[in-house]
Structure 1
């Protein structure tokens, strides 16, 4: 074997090693990014309205309780949850929009209710009554307090929790997680970590869930 041939083979060997190392680095980076995104979508203390024993399919919704589009999606979401109750994990994350005067107040009401194990009850009431309180500029805290009373909360504890810095921090973390995974408006859904691009209707979400279950 000539000296030139040896040099050429050595050159290509170096390139091959370099490409292999680069591929491993890229793959590890992508895996790390995917893991980071998954952690942003669902945290250990995120609210789960339903939990599938196998966690095969997880649907995450970033929502704003005052958002009309979230209100319009709500009946379809509830139909989906009823149909797939034991087969999907359904996670709610806060994403109150600044354009809605009472969105954060509503999120605080839901979080305060969660402190007394009544998150789902408050979640339902906020959406079922959204048309009566949404879109108003004045504080709707008295309305939310009536909801708290109706679902049997300890009102003194509820009122104290509304201003707890931990609830402020929780809402902030939810919103920052949403921004990190690309949420710009509400409602925004993710199915097994993939952003749902269809219409947020029962039929659209059902198709995405069925596809995920079939994999």
Structure 2
């Protein structure tokens, strides 16, 4: 092997080593958490708020999503167990293929404007098996829930149909898309996307780790 060839191969090897090093550094420096401003907005719906702000769980959900309904009992068990030790935030992410997903989100947001978001959130999930996956509008069902909650019906109906409520729901979905949310339910715990199964045990383990850190 000539001297020039040895020198050339040496230079190429050094350049390759540098390139590999750059790739590794860039990969390792990729942030594991997402931007908090897109994750939790000032007007995001909090079902509980931790005084110490140590652990925040954010759920992007669709009220007509069967997987969200499957996760719901575990979520409620966690909320009852941890109470105000954690901040629990709900964000809208209605799926276009679900015929009443947007209607349900509008109903929840309209109820929120009368201080009854959590109550409507529960009614929508508790009744999903009855109203979900019907091609016909379920607006009358949601109005029935609103009456049961004692809401002002004229205001509720106006809010459900308003551009402001529509924009509010879409703003949550846009934030979700910017964070890489593609389906529901999607959870984030302290800004880090939860990638395990959305079960009580799985979420509890991640929450316990967060509280212990």
Report the Cα distance in structure 1 between the residues aligned to 2:38 and 2:30, rounded to whole angstroms.
15
Which stretches of structure 1, 4 residues or more, deviate above 3 A after TM superposition? none
Report the Cα distance in structure 2 between the residues aligned to 1:168 and 1:155, rounded to whole angstroms.
18
Matched residue, 1:41:
39
* Cα deviation code 1:120-171 (max 9, x no counterpart): 0000000000000001100000000000000110101100111111111111
Q: State the 1:86 CA deviation.
A: 1.5
Report the Cα distance in structure 1 between the residues aligned to 2:171 and 2:112, rounded to whole angstroms.
16
Matched residue, 1:117:
115
| Structure 1: 5+ residue stretches without partners | 1-25
SS at match of 2:35: helix
Report the Cα distance in structure 2 between the residues aligned to 1:128 and 1:148, rounded to whole angstroms.
14
| Structure 2: 5+ residue stretches without partners | 1-25
Matched residue, 1:202:
200
Report the Cα distance in structure 2 between the residues aligned to 1:82 and 1:57, rounded to whole angstroms.
15
* Cα deviation code 1:24-51 (max 9, x no counterpart): xx9xx978x96x7211010011000000
Normalised by the size of structure 1, how large is the TM-score?
0.84
Decide which of 99, 114, 136 is 1:138's aligned counterpart. Answer: 136
Matched residue, 1:100:
98
Matched residue, 1:10:
none
Normalised by the size of structure 2, how large is the TM-score?
0.84
RMSD: 1.6
Is it true that 1:175 corresponds to 2:177 in the alignment? no
Matched residue, 2:147:
149
Decide which of 63, 83, 86 is 1:85's aligned counterpart. Answer: 83
Matched residue, 2:63:
65
Q: How many equivalent residue pairs?
A: 186
Q: State the 1:100 CA deviation.
A: 0.1
Q: State the 1:184 CA deviation.
A: 0.2
Matched residue, 1:16:
none
Matched residue, 2:125:
127
